[in-house]
Amino acid sequence: MTTDIATQRARPHTGPAWLVLALACACQFMVILDSSIVNVALPSVREDLGFTPTGLAWVVNGYLLTFAGLMLLGGRAADLYGPRRMLVAGMFLFSASSLVGGLATAPEVLVAARLAQGIGAAMMAPATLAVINTSFTEPTARAKAFGAWSAAGGVGGLVGAVAGGAITTGLSWRWVFLINVPIGAVLIVAAMVSLAGTRTGRRESLDLTGALTGTAGLAAVIYGVMQSADHGWSSGLVLGPVVGGLLLLVVFTAVEARFAAQPMVPLRLFKIRGVAVGNGMLLMFGGIAIAMWYFTSLFLQNVLGYSALHAGLGQTPAAVMFMMIARWAAALLPRTGVRPLLLSGSACFPAGFGWLSLAHADTGYVTSVLGPTLLIAVGIGLTFPTLMAAATACAPESDAGIIGGLAQTASQVGGSIGLAVLATAAGARAASEAGEGSPVDALAAGYDLVFLMAAGLGLAIAAVSMLLPRHRRG
């Protein structure tokens, strides 16, 4: 029995390494794609199904809420029941809910489908990192795998912005969801063929108390933060969920530290410096990513007058740059270690965002948007795969799933909080400038403030990166 288990852990996949990596990248691509592809289709969805403005927001927020709120649970489940089971189950739920969403005839049905999609994504995403951590144990191979996985997520975000407009215009908004069904079927077969049906962790029961308090706490905080854009930070609709969620997270920490025999998130993991510091930087990086992709898209549309499709195309050069740099950084990581790459990448953020903050309605795309976004993309390409590698390195194989869940939760929660804070700051700045120029100039001033705040986040990441170990990974 002992020999069998050792063999299974040493060989967590049955297919060739390239197929395993392609599967992990394809799943990550789909998860991130669905975070963005729906945005362009929202006007058509509202017109066809009769959504109210508040209800329409839940087509996006419902997915993000369950996705970010359940990733820790999905990560621990991957450790207990095996990455293949979680990938297959998550992909099945994701595909089935996509079918329901594509065929929806009422707003409530579509929102329910989006909530279910988020649950499926929360099952899949940590499992993809567990697959990489357990399948690629040699430092150089693992670093390259992280680079490819990171690039796949970047491609998913970009393709979502462009493909959403093309599919909605050429076919129907329903195909934004229906296209997931055949792709999901192919990925399920690939997972069954390429991954071994083994557990990566010990035979333990799920920590139900920790799962309930941790999941509910995260979901409540994220829900409250999402409400801030419409109701303001002082509203009870914001403070109530946020404070309640934070209290639940305090209870969750106490349960994990003192009462859970088999905790969902073993707090011993935070004694690993890379895990603790890496996840802290991923929280800040979430705000960087939002400022780059979301607010730059808004600047192109609301200030320069681009259509949604043209805005997506306008961000394509930066996305290509990110993919190239991410793969290059992954190749360098085993030789240089994490700190030099993080410092180099972080230096691009204040320079790029500072340059971008000078853009206004009368500036051109090439000099005021393309140049700085390419520079920022270099920074993202250097930092994101490096942060993911740092936050998941040196952890026991039996905790690969929860480590992946922690890293992706940190990034998603950082993005949610970053979106709320930056949107509030942009709105307040635009309102203060409204009487001194045109509405477009006021919007530009708001976006300029966002870009300056993102530059500050880049400096903070550089400072915190000094807490990481000096030794090399390889």
- The three-state secondary structure class of 13 is strand
Provide mean pLDDT across the span 454-473: 79
**Residue burial 239-271, b: 16+ Cβ < 10 Å; e: rest:** bebbebbeebbebbbebbeeebeebbbbeebee
Please indicate, yes or no, whether residues 29 and 149 belong to a single structural domain of this protein: yes
Please indicate, yes or no, whether residues 174 and 211 belong to a single structural domain of this protein: no
**Residue burial 193-223, b: 16+ Cβ < 10 Å; e: rest:** ebbbebbbbeeeeebebbbbbbbbbbbbbbb
* Pair 342, 387: CB distance under 8 Å: yes
> Does residue 181 surpass a pLDDT of 70?
yes
275: in domain: yes
Please indicate, yes or no, whether residues 334 and 256 belong to a single structural domain of this protein: no
Domain of residue 395, CATH code: 1.20.1250.20
106: in domain: yes
* Interatomic CA distance for residues 182 and 223, integer angstroms: 32
Please indicate, yes or no, whether residues 218 and 175 belong to a single structural domain of this protein: no
The count of domains in the chain is 3
Question: Which is it for the CA torsion 217, 249, 31, 451, positive or negative?
Answer: positive
> Does residue 13 surpass a pLDDT of 60?
no
The pLDDT tens digits of the residues spanning 21-32 come to 888 888 888 887
The pLDDT of residue 96:
95
Distance between start and end Cα atoms, the chain: 33
471: in domain: no
The rounded mean pLDDT for the chain is 80
Q: What angle do CA 345, 20, 408 make, to 5 degrees?
A: 45
- The three-state secondary structure class of 295 is helix
> Does residue 437 surpass a pLDDT of 90?
no
Please indicate, yes or no, whether residues 249 and 373 belong to a single structural domain of this protein: no
Q: What percent of the chain has pLDDT over 90?
A: 14
* Interatomic CA distance for residues 12 and 139, integer angstroms: 17
Better pLDDT: 334 or 57? 334
The pLDDT tens digits of the residues spanning 275-295 come to 888 888 888 888 888 778 778
pTM metric for this prediction: 0.76
Better pLDDT: 41 or 458? 458
> If residue 196 lies in a helix (H) or strand (E), which one and from where to where?
none
436: in domain: yes
> Does residue 111 surpass a pLDDT of 70?
yes
> Does residue 213 surpass a pLDDT of 70?
yes
The pLDDT of residue 4:
38
Better pLDDT: 368 or 307? 368
The pLDDT of residue 204:
60
The residue from 187, 205, 223 where one domain ends is: 205
The pLDDT of residue 200:
45
List the structure tokens of 375. 């520079």
- φ and ψ of 195, to 5 deg: -110, 140
> Does residue 392 surpass a pLDDT of 90?
no
* Interatomic CA distance for residues 42 and 312, integer angstroms: 15
The pLDDT of residue 3:
38
List the structure tokens of 228. 């801030």
Please indicate, yes or no, whether residues 248 and 326 belong to a single structural domain of this protein: no
The pLDDT of residue 455:
92
- The three-state secondary structure class of 195 is strand
User: Could you list the residue range(s) of the whole structural domain that residue 111 is in?
Assistant: 1-205
Instruction: Tell the residue number behind the tokens 């215009």, with chain if given.
Output: 169
474: in domain: no
Give me the helices (H) in 232-300, please: 236-254, 273-289, 296-298
Please indicate, yes or no, whether residues 304 and 227 belong to a single structural domain of this protein: no
Please indicate, yes or no, whether residues 236 and 132 belong to a single structural domain of this protein: no
Provide mean pLDDT across the span 179-193: 88
